[in-house]
Amino acid sequence: INVFGVGFDGELAKSMHGKTSWIPTTMKYWIAIARHVFWYRSKNITLNGKPYSSFMLCAANGRVFGGDFNIAPHADAQDGLLELLHIKKVNVLQRLLYLPKVKKGKHLHLNVVNHTRHNTITIEAKHTMAAQLDGEPMLASRFDIRFERKVNFVS
Instruction: Measure the CA angle with vertex 76, ends 117 and 116; round to 5°.
Output: 15
Confidence check: pLDDT of 148 > 80: no
Domain 3-146 class in CATH: mainly beta
Confidence check: pLDDT of 52 > 90: yes
- Taking only the tens place, the pLDDT of each residue in 11-45 is 999 998 877 778 887 888 888 899 999 999 999 99
pTM confidence score: 0.85
Domain boundaries, the chain: 3-146
How far apart are alpha carbons 64 and 152 in whole angstroms?
19
* Of 58, 74, 80, 42, nearest in space to 134 by CA: 58
